[in-house]
Amino acid sequence: MPYLLKYIKKQIMKIEDAIFGRFHKRIEPMQKLMSFYKCALMEVETKFKVLNEEFSFLHERNPIDSIKTRIKSVDSIRKKLRQRHLTLSVNSVEKNLYDIAGIRIICPFINDIYILADCLIGQDDITLFEKKDYIANPKKNGYRSLHLIVEIPIFLQNEKRYVKVEVQLRTIAMEFWANLEHRIRYKKDIDKKLANELAIELTDCAEMSKMLDLKMQNINKRIDK
Ligand code: 0O2
């Protein structure tokens, strides 16, 4: 019986994939929605570039080291909808997923993160939807970053659309740590014992990176004085 259930489930997933895949490739609404996310990302990226420019003019240093943007792949969207038992449809994507458009702002110092986040949230065309401060409250594994979900208007030929964008702000040290942790997490054929050992080491590293961030920030403050 479990085999039969598994078989039926697999067949349903195949049908869903075919429908979702087809509708992604051929049907306009999904492509249209994805292009709205791209536009929203451009808007948010520009906002950060403007803030960086102004800050560097005022303080003679850049609060942004680098910016990364990404649009979630259709495969990842499908996976996420399925994990959450949500309908595979364009409406469902727009209504339920807030991280289709993602921008990561990498800063030299922790202070820069909060200054930039406050400046963004304070802009009158931005609506803050969600804020998760994993710097003040790191995850159990040591993960640190400031996450924001914001909504921004994009102006099209005949309409104005509001689009959600996930903003992740972190320091260079946090980015270094998160990239390595991500690599281990998504490595499929890693030995379980080794994975556990590495997870413990990474938690130690998270503590070290936190100390490093604080020390570097302190040095920077003294330079400024
Ligand atoms: P990807 O490929 O980076 O987009 P949600 O995403 O809202 O469904 P959650 O966990 O409530 O789920 O959101 P949260 O906590 O805001 O985390 C979302 C994103 O933050 C993740 O996206 C990662 O990019 C990053 N992140 C969160 N926790 C960790 C962590 O422990 N380690 C690392 N390396 N990154 C983390 P995705 O969708 O997982 O992946």
Give the lowest-confidence range in 161-165, 195-199, 212-216: 195-199
- Is the Cβ atom of 99 under 6 angstroms away from ligand 1? yes
User: Higher-confidence residue: 29 or 220?
Assistant: 220
Strand ranges inside the chain, DSSP E: 66-71, 101-107, 127-133, 146-155, 160-171
Residue 191 has pLDDT above 80, yes or no: yes
Average pLDDT for 67-87: 94
Instruction: Give the number of the atom of ligand 1 that is nearest the alpha carbon of residue 142.
Output: 31
The CA–CA distances, whole Å, from 206 to 139, 155, 195, 199 equal 10, 41, 16, 10
72: Cα within 13 Å, side-chain hemisphere: 22
Spatial distance between the Cα atoms of 116 and 153, rounded to a whole number of angstroms: 19
Instruction: Give the number of the atom of ligand 1 that is nearest the alpha carbon of residue 76.
Output: 2
Instruction: Give the number of the atom of ligand 1 that is nearest the alpha carbon of residue 181.
Output: 34
State residue 46's pLDDT score. 98
Q: How far is the CA of 182 from the centre of ligand 1 (A)?
A: 10
- Is the Cβ atom of 73 under 6 angstroms away from ligand 1? no
Q: Which residue do the tokens 């969600």 mark? A: 130
Amino acid at 23: F
Q: Contact, 180 vs 202, CB < 8 A?
A: yes
Spatial distance between the Cα atoms of 153 and 172, rounded to a whole number of angstroms: 30
Q: Contact, 177 vs 207, CB < 8 A?
A: no
Q: What is the pTM of this model?
A: 0.88
Residue 22 has pLDDT above 70, yes or no: no
- Is the Cβ atom of 147 under 6 angstroms away from ligand 1? yes
Read off the pLDDT of residues 115-135 as tens digits, 9 standing for 90 and up. 999 999 999 999 999 999 999
Read off the pLDDT of residues 31-60 as tens digits, 9 standing for 90 and up. 899 999 999 999 999 999 999 999 999 988
Residue 19 has pLDDT above 80, yes or no: no
State residue 18's pLDDT score. 63
Spatial distance between the Cα atoms of 27 and 21, rounded to a whole number of angstroms: 10
Average pLDDT for 61-90: 94
Average pLDDT for 159-180: 97
Spatial distance between the Cα atoms of 27 and 36, rounded to a whole number of angstroms: 15
